[in-house]
Structure 1
């Protein structure tokens, strides 16, 4: 269910920056505000270290990374 959100006492410079960003993205200030909030607060779940390692490309061999080579 959608909820209304009222934000008061916004600095005029912030309001103008919001309007400029909205115009640059071709949307209303209200839509820009929604997108800013969504991007800041609704983030994907963090991946585990194991998942990050599993996604790394398989390049080279162990010998390629041996720092003891002369």
Structure 2
């Protein structure tokens, strides 16, 4: 396995990594590996089916019925 050294990180970022590692019960190095693995190994694009499945249920089809205008709108140009 390879080693990775990351230089010039903001102190706040390092602190956030330490805190996140503690919450997950991991070492800082293990948390760093997990973050990198999740960011780089997951598919970069969702399929159309995945996008559709992730859409929340927002109501019944009847809730989105089109209402007919009583008078047509005319645009002059």
TM-score (norm 1): 0.63
Query: Which runs of structure 2 are paired with 1:22-41 in the superposition (5 Å)?
Result: 22-41=21-40
Number of residue-to-residue matches in the alignment: 60
2:8 equivalent in structure 1: 9
1:61 equivalent in structure 2: none
Q: Tell me the distance in 2 between the aligned counterparts of 1:9 and 1:45.
A: 27
TM-score (norm 2): 0.58
Following superposition, which runs of at least 4 residues in structure 1 exceed 6 angstroms of deviation? none
Superposition deviation, residue 3 in structure 1: 1.1
User: Gaps (5+ residues) in structure 2?
Assistant: 54-60, 66-77
SS at match of 1:26: coil
Q: Tell me the distance in 1 between the aligned counterparts of 2:39 and 2:13.
A: 16
Superposition deviation, residue 46 in structure 1: 5.2
Q: Cα RMSD (Å) of the superposition?
A: 2.8
Q: Tell me the distance in 2 between the aligned counterparts of 1:33 and 1:47.
A: 25
